[in-house]
Structure 1
Amino acid sequence: MVSSIFIRSVIVQAGQIRVLAQGREQFSNIKKTLSFGFGLSSKQNFGYKTSTKMMVDSSTVEKRVSIVDMLPEKVDDGGYISGGWKCEDGKLSCGYSSFRGKRSTMEDFYDVKAAKIEGQTVCMFGIFDGHGGSRAAEYLKEHLFENLMKHPQFMTDTKLAITETYKQTDAAFLESEKDTYRDDGSTASTAVLVGNHLYVANVGDSRTIISKAGQAIPLSDDHKPNRSDERKRIESAGGVIMWAGTWRVGGVLAMSRAFGNRMLKQFVVAEPEIQDLEIDHEFELLVLASDGLWDVVPNEDAVSLAENEEEPEAAARKLTETAFTRGSADNITCIVVRFGHNNDKTESPEPEPEPEVKPKPETKIGETQ
């Protein structure tokens, strides 16, 4: 006989599920109504266009934000998703390409946002590579940059804002998944350009590099368990690094930092490593990609291939195709950002050749000219 307590429990749980479903539906409707101007969607779509301005809530300040239009993405017959964007003055452009590759499911996500905040141009680019499922990567696409722009110190202390936003977004994702049996995770490699100041933050083994005078410079260091500092941190926290085809945390996870991964959260943190630098005329382009690219394409090759393409969208597509043809067995996603300041330079006209002065013939004594 089923006890009355159990029946009441089932009824209560059913009621909770109904309330939760209603809440999700209401939130979905609100999100559709507000739109946020960011093209938020569970699908990878940057085709939303808006010319309106919006107010971003924060605890202390209100930021006037004007969202820049993004070009709609394209999906070709080969399954490649690609798209691009260029700012009005032509000084910055970007392109992205994403491909499921040989995997049966797609766990890579990406995000590109551009806005005017307090009169300052802000551009954000992100690669999110999921593992154990796609939900964590999808959550980051939907929330990470939105949360960052809400941070009250985003414009005054961007580095602090990025660090705190990464940690808070990780905690929010884990809270949203607490009643599920899922325990997936995700990398995050992001680049935030505020004016001409670039901040690159990384968690996991996705990677960002920059080209300076044709040289590839890594702006992130892959978070692998066998990295000496990461091994020390994990073992100090009581964790173990084991070999299981590759070095893994607890013999399970092949990276030492990630969003999500509740069961390993004590050791696998979402604290980003951040590098920042001023962009000047020597910097040519930026490449962000999931490890599906970096497993088979060295940094130098990525820069060389990207520089051979005039448009960043074509460069991103070229990189994903190259990774696939070289045998990448993973999802492959890439963003290429081209800095157009070199276009401002005007070529100096070549100096006109000086007229050739022919030597006068020698005059012999006694001869007249």
Structure 2
Amino acid sequence: MVCSSCLRNVIIQVKSIGPLSPRSLWLGSVPRVLTDTLGPGYICYYKPRKFRAIGKMMVDTGATEKRHSVVDVLPDKEDDGGYASGGCKSEDGKLRCGYSSFRGKRASMEDFFDVKMSKINEKTICFFGVFDGHGGSRAAEYLKQHLFENLMKHPQFMTDTKLAISETYKQTDKDFLDAEKDTFRDDGSTASTAVLVGNRLYVANVGDSRAVISKAGKAIPLSEDHKPNRVDERKRIENAGGVVMWAGTWRVGGVLAMSRAFGNRMLKQFVVAEPEIQEEEVNEELELLVLASDGLWDVVPNEDAVSIALGEEEPEAAARKLTETAFSRGSADNITCIVVRFHHDRTESPEPLLKQQKTSELQEVSGKVTETQEDRSKEPETQKDQTAVVEAPQQGEQKS
């Protein structure tokens, strides 16, 4: 709770700016004003939406423009309601990905996400990440720009992926704190990431974003939320000299509602960026992966999320449906999710697919509908036959 004298100081700071325009504003000095007012030894965090009544303005910490000491007037954003969605697929067609990100009921957008696909040593490498900022968007934005880039540069990324992820998470946290050392901000961010190397899926988590897979139709979480009241987390924090107390929910030092995060310099002794990592084999039982910020998980259980995602053919449609469901169920936070669908039929022989095609479709592909399997085995393979083998699975995919 902020005392009335604090609010008076904030109002004075805002009034000193002059007339307000309908454009978004960033209150760069508010955290310092509140901290100075409360006195040394106090840590003050604020949610931008709590200041909406002051001057009828909107605080937007999601901008990338250069920061000034008091207030930046940001350029108007597109009138899209803070919503973005899209999708992509791997070059080999073995997976498709969809994402959806919505500002929701918050005045500002502090969620970021990242999707990257590449090839290293003939192996398909895919990166998926959801970053949920708190106290501002700088930490989440920094992770989007640097985390996967740093991971690919790690010398042991391909040989010891778990070690590379762990070391990259911690180093990126240090880099962010160094980059922000001369500011008066104390942003933080969660990170829920999935890295696919060949047929191995590595899910790493810091904070209360979450990763859930569907395996043979069953929802299985691949991360456990880092909450301060988790028995092992509470013990770790108390052993480091910190306290966990109730302030509307369980919080580290009565301030932060998660026990691990990037950034959060003031609580860094207790709030670490050490990821918990789980490894999963990508086999025929693994159907899809859902990565999302707590704006989804606060109101959508794991089982519901998997059921909704499986009900949509396209992962982009599934991501949008999850976002809409969370909002309709009353989520008060930013909502961001990524849905990844795995297509295992791409690794199988196309012959069963050819047998399932209608006669007319086979005729379009190869022009040899009347040939028997025995006749074809006696003839040399032609270029036309090779084309049929390649194209048939693609047509099968369009039908699905």
Interval of TM-score (by shorter of Structure 1 and Structure 2): 0.7 to 0.9
Corresponding residue of 1:245 = 248
Asked whether 1:197 is paired with 2:236, we answer no
Decide which moves more: 80-89 or 319-328. 80-89
Query: Hey, which bits of structure 1, 4+ residues long, moved more than 3 A?
Result: 75-79, 342-350
Separation in 2 of the partners of 1:318 and 1:162? 31
User: In the aligned structure 1, how far is the partner of 2:129 from the partner of 2:184?
Assistant: 27
The alpha carbon displacement at 1:120 in A equals 1.4
Match of 2:179 in 1: 176
Report sequence identity in percent. Answer: 81
1:132-164 superposed Cα distances (whole Å, 9 cap, x missing partner): 000000000000000000000000000000000
Say whether 1:165 aligns with 2:156: no
Shift of 1:91: 1.1
Give the equivalent residue in structure 2 for 1:138: 141
Normalized per residue, the structure richer in helix is: 2
Q: Say whether 1:232 aligns with 2:235.
A: yes
C-alpha change, 1:173 and 1:197, in structure 2 (3 Å) is same
Cα distance in 1 for residues equivalent to 2:287 and 2:226 = 26
Give the superposition deviation at 1:96. 0.3
Structure 1: stretches of 5+ with no match in the other structure:
1-41, 44-74, 351-369
Aligned length: 279
Deviations, residues 238-281 of structure 1 (Å, cap 9, x unaligned): 00001000000000000000000000000000000000011100
Offset from partner CA, 1:87-118 (integer Å, 9 cap, x none): 23321110000000000000000000000112
Q: What does 1:1-369 correspond to in 2, within 5 Å?
A: 77=80, 79-342=82-345, 346=352
Does the Cα contact within 8 Å between 2:308 and 2:318 map onto a contact in 1?
Answer: yes
**One-letter amino acid matched to 2:250:** W
Paired residue type of 1:158:
T
Distance 1:321 1:262 in 2: 34
SS at structure 2 position matched to 1:251: coil
Amino acid at match of 2:104: G
How far apart, CA to CA, are the structure 2 residues paired with 1:274 and 1:162? Answer: 8
Q: Secondary structure of 1:270's partner? A: coil
Distance 1:297 1:255, change over 3 A: same
So what's the TM-score if we normalise by structure 1?
0.73
Q: TM-score, normalised by structure 2?
A: 0.67
Amino acid at match of 1:182: R
- Structure 2 distance, partners of 1:138, 1:348, is 47
SS in 1 for 2:163: helix
Q: Return the index of the structure with the highest Cα Rg.
A: 1
**Structure 2 CA distance for aligned equivalents of residues 98 and 289 of structure 1:** 9
- Distance of 1:234 and 1:348 partners within structure 2: 59
> What is the CA–CA distance in structure 1 between the aligned matches of 2:266 and 2:81, rounded to whole Å?
37
Distance 1:181-1:158 versus aligned 2 partners, 3 A rule: same
Give the C-alpha shift of residue 226 in structure 1: 0.2
